[in-house]
Chain A
Amino acid sequence: MTQLGMAIDLERCYGCRACMEACKVENSTPRGAFWMHVFRFEEGEYPDTEQTNMPRPCQHCSEPSCASACPTSARFKREEDGIVLTDYDRCIGCRYCEIGCPYGVNYAQFEHPEDAQYGYGSESDEHNGDDTHGSGTFAEALGDEAPGEGKPPWHDPIHDKPVEPRGTQMSGPQPEGVMSKCTMCAHRQDNPERGQEGTTACAQTCPVDAIKFGDMEDPESDPNQHLEDKSSSSTFKLLEDRGTEPNVVYIGDEPGDDARTIEDADTFKDPQEAIEIEKNPPESRSTDVEVGQ
């Protein structure tokens, strides 16, 4: 049996958050949704403090509490490779999976997908779409040159392909009112012709190769080989006491009770706040900042 998972080396990770960015680009996730998130935290007392970074994808648990909680089986574990997926056609948006999961990886789409995307919300044409399309207006960007049969450019058509075993949409940005989360790039695993099978965007992008993706049941897989190489380091799984049997193994020390975030996890991540910043870019905001001189 195959169980896809990850070994994430916290001794290598330096918190650049390229994995987060890669995930967003790969999966076209909307503002505020971070299928991959990196905790940056500090422990100890000054001056003996230590900073650690901990990437957090979905743990693709062997006993996924989100799937247990789902009232329609929209959230389920794919037997073929152990990925936990969301059937966008079946999900009713009750958010029970979000409540039942202790890891904070679930995102309900509370807005129209277009409204929730980057580049939307700026009132002036000058900024519309800048951060997704480079330049030009949002309307232009949605025009004929947009890839994906008239879909907006942030939408990779690969996500429109039905996902097995149900033949429904389960990857990429979800429709309004529906749940989503990290799919371990199921579209990559299911479309070998793209040449990306056995990879995820986050693992591929990581500049220090801290994320090892593969079959956790295979001793020869990348994550297991890396775990063997670093057998002298301590390892842990997140919230293992919850009985979810996560399939992401961390190499390094587990955050202690006094771990505190260097910045709030939600810094600049609130969609409305992001829209405000977009409308009022940093140059013009700088006058608001009083520097003690």
Chain B
Amino acid sequence: MSTPTSSDRRAATLADPGPRYYAMLAVAGVVVFAMVYSFVTVLTQGHGITGLHNWGTDGGVPWGLDIGAFSWWSAMGVGAIALSSIIRVFGMDDYRPYARIGELLTPLAFGVGFLHIVFDLGKPFRVLNTLIYLPLQSPIAWDVILLAGLGAISVVYMVASLRADVYELSERGALPTALSPVYDALLVGYEPSETGTGEDLAWWLGALVLVFIPVVGGGVVPLLWGPLGVNINWFGAIQGPTFLAASMTTGAAAVLFVGCVLRYAYGLEDVFTDRTLRRLGAVTGAFAFTYLLGTFYEIQTGTFAADMADPNVTMRVFEGPLAPLLVLAIAAIVAPTAYLTIQHATDRFSLLGTVLLTGVMLVGILHQETWLIVGGLMYPDLLYPVGEYTPSVYEWLNLMGTTALVALVLLVFAKTLPVVSDPAEVGPDR
């Protein structure tokens, strides 16, 4: 068997799709449609049909699965672009295919994270009010500024890193001609003679991201509101590092997951090698360990809970109905961490085991983020009843829909863009 060329590998995903591809596309499409149905239903009937209610006399919980999903997707976006930037800026060439996955994943993650906010708003079409009025004393305003800034950078970064490969595949005629205007737009100002121009731009953007990440990754909000207090009382010193750890874990796990899927789907064993997948798995496990520690400190100090929370919220969480959820979340993160670490330590590799356990870890983090939010709002101070919350079918449809939307766009990307990056320097045995 002849060794595939670099260009062959880049074009690997662009081959004519088989029935399985169309089946996946159809399933994703149906689920996205269900999400639209959910949005329209909640929009026309009101949030009363969701599991959300006011805390206090209503005995409800005002934020739920949509906000948990927003945190999860945002964390994934931050982590994926940070990982990609680290690979690019520090020249870790073996991992460049993973950098490309991170680049493609980041704008999608930020996009669907934003969708969850829109779904959650009582007045979704007023979302732009946040930009029009934007009071700078509001923590959420800074979330908007910083995440929107990072989202914008992530799109430019993705385009900058794609241009050289798009040009090459375009010249080769491997890209669908129907989308020529899109490729022409992507290649505006691109000079093939200036080899490395796009790469240089991507390097600088990656460096910018690495400067930006510690600020965005939960940094500036606790920095500003922790010391000042301003009676939100929600921000402690542990929030920023924990969000950053959650981001790196979620981002690395998502990249690892997609890498495994691409390898399986297109037989890219020489691109997503055993060795790189195993090492990325170990790094994901290390991030997960840090995330667990941060979460533990957050729970221990009660800083995960909102200002309204009972001072003894930590004990209530440990002893209350949320305790099993806490144990479940920890198990769903610890077990994959142990598996990925042991896999690396024993120099073994299982694609199925890695993809399954990474999936479990991703679900575990989503679960953890959601119950932390809900748990922090369930136990109010004063003499109010304990809040109750069970996600409604509409909130589940939203979550499944955004996941399907990301899968759908990735499937489209696979047939329209070079999702496999620069494997030229990647030897089959590395």
Q: A92-B129, A104-B384, A112-B46 given as contacts; is B122 within 8 A of A99 (CB)?
A: no
- Find A99's partner among B57, B117, B134, B308 (CB 8 Å cutoff): B308
Do the beta carbons of B385 and A104 come within 8 Å of each other? no
Nearest Cβ on chain B to A201's Cβ, whole angstroms: 18
Nearest Cβ on chain B to A17's Cβ, whole angstroms: 12
Complexed CA–CA distance, A71 and B130 (Å) = 6
Do the beta carbons of A99 and B135 come within 8 Å of each other? no
Chain B contacts with A in 98-142, Cβ cutoff 8 A? 117, 120-124, 126-127, 129-130, 132-135, 137-141
Nearest Cβ on chain B to A50's Cβ, whole angstroms: 15
Q: State the interface size on chain B (CB cutoff 8 A).
A: 50
Q: Which residues of B contact A41 (CB under 8 A)?
A: 383
Q: Which residues of B contact A176 (CB under 8 A)?
A: 46, 122
Q: A176-B46, A264-B385 given as contacts; is B57 within 8 A of A63 (CB)?
A: no
Complexed CA–CA distance, A100 and B140 (Å) = 11
What 0/1 readout, one digit per residue, does chain A (178-214) give for beta carbons within 8 Å of chain B?
Answer: 1100000000000000000000000000000000000
Nearest Cβ on chain B to A133's Cβ, whole angstroms: 23
Complexed CA–CA distance, A41 and B385 (Å) = 13
Smallest Cβ-Cβ distance to B56: which chain A residue? A104
Considering residues B121, B133, B230, B307, which has the most beta carbons from chain A within 10 angstroms of its beta carbon?
Answer: B307
Q: Which residues of A contact B130 (CB under 8 A)?
A: 71-72, 92
Q: A68-B138, A177-B47 given as contacts; is B59 within 8 A of A266 (CB)?
A: yes
Q: Which residues of A contact B377 (CB under 8 A)?
A: 99
Do the beta carbons of B46 and A242 come within 8 Å of each other? no
Chain A contacts with B in 63-104, Cβ cutoff 8 A? 63-65, 68-74, 90-96, 98-104
Q: State the interface size on chain A (CB cutoff 8 A).
A: 61
Do the beta carbons of A265 and B46 come within 8 Å of each other? no
Q: A32-B57, A63-B230, A110-B53 given as contacts; is B137 within 8 A of A95 (CB)?
A: no
Complexed CA–CA distance, A173 and B228 (Å) = 34
A247 at the interface (CB under 8 A from B): no
A16 at the interface (CB under 8 A from B): no
Q: A72-B130, A261-B383, A270-B58 given as contacts; is B120 within 8 A of A94 (CB)?
A: yes
Q: A71-B135, A109-B122, A177-B46 given as contacts; is B62 within 8 A of A95 (CB)?
A: yes
Nearest Cβ on chain A to B308's Cβ, whole angstroms: 5
B2 at the interface (CB under 8 A from A): no
Q: A110-B48, A178-B122 given as contacts; is B230 within 8 A of A101 (CB)?
A: no
B390 at the interface (CB under 8 A from A): no
B39 at the interface (CB under 8 A from A): no
Q: Which residues of A contact B57 (CB under 8 A)?
A: 32, 34, 37, 104, 265-266, 269
A107 at the interface (CB under 8 A from B): yes
B3 at the interface (CB under 8 A from A): no
Q: Which residues of A contact B138 (CB under 8 A)?
A: 68-71, 73, 96
B381 at the interface (CB under 8 A from A): yes
Q: Majority SS of interface residues in chain B?
A: loop
Complexed CA–CA distance, A271 and B137 (Å) = 35
Q: A98-B62, A99-B307, A177-B122 given as contacts; is B129 within 8 A of A72 (CB)?
A: yes
Q: Majority SS of interface residues in chain A?
A: loop
Q: Which residues of B contact A98 (CB under 8 A)?
A: 54-55, 62
Complexed CA–CA distance, A73 and B377 (Å) = 23
Nearest Cβ on chain B to A110's Cβ, whole angstroms: 4
Nearest Cβ on chain B to A116's Cβ, whole angstroms: 8
A126 at the interface (CB under 8 A from B): no
Do the beta carbons of A265 and B385 come within 8 Å of each other? yes
Q: A95-B63, A99-B63, A115-B46 given as contacts; is B127 within 8 A of A242 (CB)?
A: no
Supply 17 A–B pairs (Cβ within 8 Å), ascending by A: A37-B56, A56-B382, A64-B231, A65-B230, A68-B232, A69-B140, A69-B232, A70-B138, A71-B133, A72-B132, A93-B122, A94-B117, A95-B62, A108-B54, A109-B122, A116-B48, A271-B48
5 tightest Cβ-Cβ pairs between the two chains A and B:
A93-B122, A177-B122, A104-B56, A65-B231, A266-B59
**A contact residues vs B (CB 8 Å cutoff):** 32-34, 37, 39, 41, 56, 61, 63-65, 68-74, 90-96, 98-112, 115-116, 176-179, 238-239, 242-244, 255, 259-261, 264-266, 269-271
**B contact residues vs A (CB 8 Å cutoff):** 46-48, 50, 52-59, 62-63, 117, 120-124, 126-127, 129-130, 132-135, 137-141, 144, 229-234, 306-308, 377, 380-385
